[in-house]
Amino acid sequence: MTPQDPASLLATAKDSTQPLSGPSSWTPPTPEELSGLIPGLAVEALIGRGGMGAVFRARQVRLDRLVALKVLPPAVGRDPEAAERVAREARALAKLNHPGIISVYDHGQVGELLWLTMELIDGANLRQVMETGSLSPETALRLIPCLCKALQYAHDQGVVHRDLKPENILIDAQGAPWIADFGLAKMASEDEAGLTQTGQLLGSYRYMAPEQIAGAKTVDHRADIYALGVVLYELLTGSLPQGRFEPPSRRVAVDVRLDEVVLRSLERDPQRRYQRAEDLSRAVTAAGSSPAPAPAAAPPAAAPAAAPLPTWWQRLQDTRRSHRDRMLAGVCGGLGASTPLPTWLWRAILLMGLLCWGVGGVAYLVLWISIPDGADPPPRTTAWTWAVAAMFLILILFSILYVLS
């Protein structure tokens, strides 16, 4: 899927019929009613509504500045614990000054209505952008490092969001993400006693870390890293990592290295997750911007050793074999043989000739030694002489054949 221009992407998101933060049975007051209730504000229009309140576009009259006005349902204002959470949100955000975190300007209560004025972002929340179906994996990987920087800044200030989800992430006209709604944030230096004694889980269940669901007394910044891992998985695959979920690369065409990044972010044990948001940012950037490492290439095959130059003996052997082949072919052709006789047969004949010459030579010497001095050799001795001579000639012939073979 190709990346889309941020302006057109937001235009599509704004045209979506989905509410800002989900359905709600609460009917918020009209802009005219709010303008008369909150002094110094001219409320212009309803931007969105959800289960935890409604957001209006308003103008601060004295400063002539557009702001976002968040109004909570009357039921929240009647709950002292909820009112305390709103006050904590205002105090926490008042200490944060970061281009990726929506600033709070003021807060108060009128009757049963709790309200906050915040920085106005001209855009849509990430949920609306996701539901357009136009968010590419490349855009998703560009958003995560920006969110990590904002979270890291908040964590360094001792603020934990604890309710990070697409509805609480706004995308402006330039495509930059902003983290909103720190209503469930806790100050790390504050004691949580008395704020959750009812046993109510603070946060959105599908994005909550296991230690949050288990009701752990100490929930630190690593719960935000888990929630951001859920958001990353949902951005890449379009679904939530529930049950035995598949790694992202098995569902969409993304770098397989992102599997390790997502799975480490979603570790049940906080000690095994990324310990800092900036660590997650570096991992996502490395996996999304650099090409995947090529598989290790097999070492090149060793070049065959160069053959040594032929010596005079090797040249003699080659010449010998060439003459042998020509002679054997001529002899076999004269005998009418279709193929030359094998070399082993010639060598067998030669060995037999050597054996016969040796036996004949020994017999010849015995005969000559047995003849008296001055006596004529008997005829048989003369016959042996010619026999030994003939065998000697045969031996020479077969010796030549052996050398040539």
Active-site residues, by number, are: 163
The 3 state secondary structure assigned to the chain is CCCCCHHHHHHHHHCCCCCCECCCCCCCCCHHHHHHHCCCEEEEEEEEEECCEEEEEEEECCCCEEEEEEECCHHHHCCHHHHHHHHHHHHHHHCCCCCCECCEEEEEEECCEEEEEEECCCEEEHHHHHHCCCCCHHHHHHHHHHHHHHHHHHHHCCEECCCCCHHHEEEECCCCEEECCCCCCEECCCCCCCCCCCCCCCCCHHHCCHHHHCCCCCCCCHHHHHHHHHHHHHHHHCCCCCCCCCCHHHCCCCCCHHHHHHHHHCCCCHHHCCCCHHHHHHHHHHHHHCCCCCCCCCCCCCCCCCCCCCCHHHHHHHHHHHHHHHHHHHHHHHHCCCCCCCHHHHHHHHHHHHHHHHHHHHHHHHHHHHCCCCCCCCHHHHHHHHHHHHHHHHHHHHHHHHHHC
d(CA 288, CA 293): 12
Q: Which residue has the tokens 């002292």?
A: 80
d(CA 70, CA 180): 11
Residue 118, both tokens: 């915040």
- Please, what sign has the CA dihedral across residues 257, 260, 261, 266? positive
